[in-house]
Amino acid sequence: MSGFRELWRILRRNPSAMLGFGIIVFYLLMASIGPLFVHVSNIENPLAAYEPASWAHLLGTDYAGRDTLAEIVDGSTPVLIVAVIASTFSVVIGVIIGLVAGFLGGVGDNILMRIADIFLTIPSLPLVIVIVTFIQSSSPFVLAAVIAVTGWAGLSRSVRAQALSLAKRDFVEAAQVQGLSLYNILIRQLLPNIGSYVAMNFLLGISGAIYAEVGLFLLGIAPFTASNWGVMLNFAINQAGSIYTSQSMLYLFSPMVAIVLLQVGFVLFTRALDQLFNPRLRTQ
Amino acid sequence: MEDFIHIKNLTVSFRTARGLLRAVDQVTLRLRSGEIFALVGESGCGKSTLAYSLLNLIPEPGFFETGGIVFQGIDIVQAKYRELRNLRGKLISMVFQASMNSFNPVLRFKNQVDHIFDAHPEVWPKRSEGYAYFSELLTLVRLSPDQVLKSFPHELSGGMKQRVAIAISLLLRPTMLILDEPTTALDVLNQRLVLDILRDLHSRLGLTVVFVTHDLGVVADIADRVGVMYAGKLVDVGTLEQVFYDPARHPYVTGLLHAAPSAFQAVRARPIPGSVPNLLELQPGCRFAPRCDLAESMCRVSEPELVVHSSGHVVSCHVMSRMEAKEVMVQ
Amino acid sequence: MAYIARRFGVSLFIIYVVITISFFLIRLMPGNAVDFLYFQLLASHTVSPQQALQQVQSLYGVNMKEPLLLQYVQYIWNMIHGSLGNSILYPGTSVLHILMNALPWTILIVSTSLIISFFIGISIGTLIAYFRKSKFAVLVSTIMTVLSAIPNYIVAIILLYLLADIHHIFPTGGAYSPEVAPGWNIPFLFSVARHAALPVIVFIITQVGGWSLGMKSSVVSALGEEYITSAHSHGIGSRRIIQSYVGRNAILPLVTSLGLSIGFMVGGSVFIETLFNYPGIGFFLITAVNGRDYPLMMGAFIIVTSAVVLANFLTDLINQRLDPRTMQK
């Protein structure tokens, strides 16, 4: 719990980290309770297309006369759900493989780390695109799992390195001498020590998953059931031709600003966490 | 002997989150030409900072708060960057504590030596003569010149790198050499070798040497004069004999000698009780008083000044000054 | 040498794994592409089962009626000989032919923007490391942080939107104008540069932040090294210390991450090439996905991953040249 207090201390001293933290909290609120307050109309009314900002439509309307702000709020939920699940998957896989490799040692370790190397070398996006094309599922879990397939390797390497160095330290040996089970050693001793890596990778993973996922929807590769920011961009560019008319600026830029703001929030916040976990950087 | 370098009332401070830390506090010291001067103290006492000051190489966020260092008519503290560049390496050079890390890991020694020649082209107008001299130096430190020059730093052992560092520091024939704990990171055999080499070089080249160390055994081996620092203050300066055998030496020096498991004491090593004070939370009075067997009430109130005893031994201790005064009266 | 050979062996092995993944995807997944095409052909009632089998074989290069292991061996044999099958979308054209025409364009935009953004990045990074206490450096750092957070396709859309009206300056499609004759002549090279400009600008804008910040922290940690103080103690000039001591060492971790960055950029080229209609591998990958041209898609996947794997191998070699300490390993 002292970690949270330390985090708060750093946030208070670092305005840009605080800004990043605030942005993330704002988006989490928007994605979880925002859809309760907005309503995306099913009625298409081309006569009301691309209206400018007004009190009725704070961000104007889309090509079919629907409220852009409502679409942005409504579209945040599927984006964040997939990203959070994907990052959770890849963190879990990464930690498990890293720990197993670290404790197994020998041939097993070698094989697992070779596999991690392969996934680190293969460019992730083409692999994700190809798998998504074959699977053709609109389930957020499936999409998240596909994105996670490519994201675990980096974390597994750091967890393994950490597990190796910790396994040599006294307290793990002491725990073993005291007859504590492997489970106990893992949960009580090791997990707290790799917590910082997990937290950083979780946040970076969400950020990376948002990039990949929105991109897939933008290109129209991933099937979807509900609209989201990527789908909005896809419609704006490919179907409605909004990119060629200057009236559509508000509609076209709204999802882009939504994405960029969230990604900036993640970068600012992860930089603060980096300082928290690497105190050496703090003084510099 | 004349003053070779004169450190006047030097204070080097570091800005920290909790205030100014005076790593070197109002130190005054004269070094003599051609001597080997050992600067002794526990880690964190300011001896390395004082050594770095001699080249105006204080690391961030340190700065000179007061005082000066006069060397050949210029004040190193106030000197401009161009004057410092001319001084560094050519007139005064330095060998660092961790010489294994004091070489650029991606360049061969030949390149690094070239860079030094480039920086001071006037010293060796003919590069080949410079290399001939460097080969001579490498031979003196018992290394094979051809092999060293074409090597990368990681290809030599720590002891070898230390000796290359010493050879390189003498490349431009400086008049003064500063060695910051040159033997600490070495094994016993290499320590011996480096000390032998240093003594040899000193007698051949006649340069002035400042030797920073915490190892009194090494000091006894090599030094002409000794300065002892404690918590940023210079507390005792004298010849080797004075510091090791004068009963009027600073109680801290006595403590250090007792703490050293060496040939001087048949008794078992006895560490000084307590620990070095935090420089950010100094109490009034003598900085050593909390750990001192001889401390009196006065020692906890006023800080002693450096006093020159009749023997020439310089000590900052209320008790010792009083004893000295009595002796003079008796005489 | 042994190290290079071993690294090259690892690269070949990864390419082999990629081909295996690809075989698994087209042949073994439930509802896989090969079965799908076969049953689609049968259902159309225009061909005999024998003809359907032949068609499948000409597209994917495997005979469905043979044992799977044999098909696998056959597939790998085909792939390493460059027989990537025939395209469905571009009938009568071999996949290899399409992709070999596309690959140079992807290499062109990725390598150009990588080199430019790398050098801009290390220059900015060194500057903001040296002046890290100044307001200006803090501002530049913040701008770089924000830039590094923006997805490349967003920058591409913004440029498309802003430049749509003046697209006679920057064309939005193709790798060169159809009016010029390909070859080493000025009009052609100028046309190529104009067509590549927007994709390259997008990559530079989105990559430069990461390089700057990486270089900044690398320089800051190099500045604390003993050999920098030592170089100063020898009176070596600041300029040389920045270049040969600080910069030369600070750059090493960045060179190590070049490989990762190439993989990321090639992935991003899928978006950039599609948005700008730039006929690189990424463009054909998405075209194939949208047209369900599985042979072309898998071919693009294999070629693009192999290119990245080989690029990784090359950056390893560069890294080894720059850091003498890796030579012994």
pLDDT range class, residue C208, cuts 50, 70, 90 = very high
Which ipTM did the prediction report? Answer: 0.89
pLDDT range class, residue C168, cuts 50, 70, 90 = low
Residue B315: closest CA among B257, B203, B238: B238
* A62 part of a folded domain: yes
Name residue B275's amino acid. S
pLDDT range class, residue C24, cuts 50, 70, 90 = confident
The structural domains of chain C, ordered by start, are 2-80 (no CATH), 95-326 (1.10.3720.10)
B170: nearest CA partner in chain C:
C234
* Higher pLDDT pick, C203 / C322: C203
C259 and C315 Cβ atoms separated by less than 8 Å: yes
- List of chains touching A (3+ CB pairs within 8 A): C
- Kindly tell me the sign of the dihedral angle through the C-alpha atoms of B62, B68, B69, B75: positive
**Residue B163: its pLDDT value, please?**
87
Joined together, the tokens standing for residue B57 give 């190489």
pLDDT range class, residue C285, cuts 50, 70, 90 = very high
pLDDT range class, residue C211, cuts 50, 70, 90 = very high
pLDDT range class, residue A2, cuts 50, 70, 90 = low
**Residue A220: its pLDDT value, please?**
85
Note whether C153 contacts A215, CB cutoff 8 Å: yes
Q: How far is CA B190 from CA B143, B167, B182, B293, in A?
A: 13, 15, 10, 37
pLDDT range class, residue B144, cuts 50, 70, 90 = very high
Across the range B105-109, mean pLDDT stands at 93
> How far apart are the CA of A222 and the nearest CA of chain C, in angstroms?
10
CATH number of the domain enclosing A199: 1.10.3720.10
Residues in chain A: 284
A148 and A90 Cβ atoms separated by less than 8 Å: yes
Residue C16: closest CA among B84, B100, A121: A121
* A12 part of a folded domain: no
* A250 part of a folded domain: yes
B118: nearest CA partner in chain C:
C236
Q: How far is CA A80 from CA A104, A142, A275, B198, in A?
A: 35, 15, 25, 68
- Cα B77 from Cα B83, distance rounded (Å): 11
pLDDT range class, residue B330, cuts 50, 70, 90 = low
What is the residue whose two structure tokens read 């992935």?
C267
Q: C94 has which bridge partners? A: C86
What is the residue whose two structure tokens read 């579209």?
A75
- Cα B102 from Cα C227, distance rounded (Å): 4
pLDDT range class, residue A169, cuts 50, 70, 90 = low
How high does pLDDT run on average in chain B? Answer: 86
* Higher pLDDT pick, A135 / B315: B315
> Helices in A105-190 by DSSP H: which ranges?
106-121, 124-135, 140-149, 153-167, 170-177, 182-184
pLDDT range class, residue A69, cuts 50, 70, 90 = confident
C chain contacts of residue B210, beta-carbon cutoff 8 Å? none
**Residue B105: its pLDDT value, please?**
92
C268 and C108 Cβ atoms separated by less than 8 Å: no
* A90 part of a folded domain: yes
> Residues of chain C with pLDDT > 70: what percent?
95
**Residue A282: its pLDDT value, please?**
41
Note whether B104 contacts C322, CB cutoff 8 Å: no
- Cα A176 from Cα A174, distance rounded (Å): 5
Across the range C97-105, mean pLDDT stands at 92
Residue B214: closest CA among B180, B178, B243: B180
- Cα A265 from Cα A210, distance rounded (Å): 13
pLDDT range class, residue B267, cuts 50, 70, 90 = low
The residue of C157, C261, C287, C306 whose CB has the most chain A CBs within 10 angstroms, and thus the best one to mutate to test that interface, is C157
Across the range B76-100, mean pLDDT stands at 88
Helix (H, G, I), strand (E, B) or coil at C86: strand
Across the range A67-86, mean pLDDT stands at 86
How high does pLDDT run on average in chain C? Answer: 86
Note whether C157 contacts A214, CB cutoff 8 Å: no
Task: Tell whether the model's pLDDT for residue B180 goes beyond 70.
Answer: yes
**Residue A173: its pLDDT value, please?**
64
Q: Which long-range contacts (CB under 8 A, 24 or more apart) does B243-246 make?
A: B243/B313, B244/B220, B246/B309, B246/B311, B246/B313
> How far apart are the CA of C322 and the nearest CA of chain B, in angstroms?
7
**Residue A281: its pLDDT value, please?**
45
- Cα B228 from Cα B248, distance rounded (Å): 14
Domains in chain A: how many in total? 1
**Residue B257: its pLDDT value, please?**
85
C chain contacts of residue B165, beta-carbon cutoff 8 Å? 230
| Closest by Cβ to C229, choosing from B89, B96, B106 | B96
pLDDT range class, residue C304, cuts 50, 70, 90 = very high
> How far apart are the CA of C92 and the nearest CA of chain A, in angstroms?
23
* Higher pLDDT pick, A68 / C221: C221
The residue of B92, B115, B212 whose CB has the most chain C CBs within 10 angstroms, and thus the best one to mutate to test that interface, is B115
- Cα C317 from Cα B54, distance rounded (Å): 43
Task: Tell whether the model's pLDDT for residue B265 goes beyond 90.
Answer: no
* Higher pLDDT pick, B326 / C241: C241
**Residue A240: its pLDDT value, please?**
67
**Residue A66: its pLDDT value, please?**
76
Joined together, the tokens standing for residue C176 give 């060169």
Note whether A214 contacts C151, CB cutoff 8 Å: yes
Across the range A4-24, mean pLDDT stands at 82
Task: Tell whether the model's pLDDT for residue A46 goes beyond 60.
Answer: yes
Angle between helix A249-277 and A68-104 (nearest 10): 30
Q: B239 has which bridge partners? A: B225
* Higher pLDDT pick, C47 / B176: B176
Q: B29 has which bridge partners? A: B7
Across the range C310-328, mean pLDDT stands at 84
Residue C289: closest CA among A224, A132, A209: A132
Type and span of the H or E element at A217 = helix A191-218
* A52 part of a folded domain: no
Task: Tell whether the model's pLDDT for residue A178 goes beyond 80.
Answer: no
* Higher pLDDT pick, A260 / C183: A260
Across the range B293-305, mean pLDDT stands at 86
Q: What is the pLDDT of residues B121-134, one digit of tens each?
A: 999 999 999 999 99
How high does pLDDT run on average in chain A? Answer: 80
Q: What is the pLDDT of residues A219-242, one digit of tens each?
A: 888 877 777 888 888 888 877 666
Note whether A123 contacts C308, CB cutoff 8 Å: yes
**Residue B107: its pLDDT value, please?**
92
- Cα A199 from Cα A270, distance rounded (Å): 9
* Residue partners of A247: CB distance under 8 A and separation at least 6: A50
**Cα dihedral angle (C62, C65, C67, C71), rounded to 10 degrees?**
0
Q: What is the pLDDT of residues C221-280, one digit of tens each?
A: 898 888 999 999 999 999 999 999 999 999 999 998 888 889 899 999 999 999 888 999
> Residues of chain C with pLDDT > 90: what percent?
43
Domain interval for residue A253: 25-35+57-283
Note whether C263 contacts A211, CB cutoff 8 Å: no
Neighbour-count burial of B117, counting CB atoms closer than 10 A to its CB (0-12 exposed, 13-18 middle, 19+ buried): middle
**Residue C310: its pLDDT value, please?**
92
Note whether B115 contacts C323, CB cutoff 8 Å: no
Task: Tell whether the model's pLDDT for residue B1 goes beyond 60.
Answer: no
> How far apart are the CA of B323 and the nearest CA of chain C, in angstroms?
44
Query: Which of B17-31, B48-62, B66-80, C204-218 ranks highest by mean pLDDT?
Result: C204-218
Strands B19-32 and B3-16: antiparallel
Across the range C169-175, mean pLDDT stands at 71
**Residue C268: its pLDDT value, please?**
92
Neighbour-count burial of C264, counting CB atoms closer than 10 A to its CB (0-12 exposed, 13-18 middle, 19+ buried): buried
A238: nearest CA partner in chain C:
C275
- Cα B162 from Cα B152, distance rounded (Å): 14
Q: What is the 3-state secondary structure (H, E, C) of chain B?
A: CCEEEEEEEEEEEEEECCEEEEEEEEEEEEEECCCEEEEECCCCCCHHHHHHHCCCCCCCCEEEEEEEEEECCEECCCCCHHHHHHHECCCEEEECCCHHHCCCCCCCHHHHHHHHHHHCCCCCCCHHHHHHHHHHHHHHCCCCHHHHHCCCHHHCCHHHHHHHHHHHHCCCCCCEEEEECCCCCCCHHHHHHHHHHHHHHHHHHCCEEEEEECCHHHHHHHCCEEEEEECCEEEEEEEHHHHHHCCCCCHHHHHHHHHCCCCCCCCCCCCCCCCCCCCCCCCCCCCCHHHCCCCCHHHHCCCCCCEECCCCCEECCHHHHHHHHHHHHHC
C227: nearest CA partner in chain B:
B102
- Cα B147 from Cα B145, distance rounded (Å): 6
**Residue C132: its pLDDT value, please?**
87
| Closest by Cβ to C304, choosing from A126, A233, A281 | A126
Across the range B61-69, mean pLDDT stands at 90
- Cα B142 from Cα B163, distance rounded (Å): 8
Q: How far is CA C25 from CA A109, C40, C70, in A?
A: 27, 18, 16
* Residue partners of A5: CB distance under 8 A and separation at least 6: none
CA B57 to chain centre: 14
* A265 part of a folded domain: yes
Across the range C73-91, mean pLDDT stands at 83
| Closest by Cβ to C227, choosing from B101, B118, B119 | B101
Neighbour-count burial of C85, counting CB atoms closer than 10 A to its CB (0-12 exposed, 13-18 middle, 19+ buried): buried
* A51 part of a folded domain: no
| Closest by Cβ to A125, choosing from C18, C270, C312 | C270
From its phi and psi, is residue B239 left (phi > 0), alpha (psi between -120 and 50) or beta? beta
Range with lowest mean pLDDT among A183-187, B321-325, C292-296: A183-187
* A264 part of a folded domain: yes
Helix, strand, coil shares, percent, chain A, to 5: 80, 0, 20
**Residue C327: its pLDDT value, please?**
64
**Residue A165: its pLDDT value, please?**
75
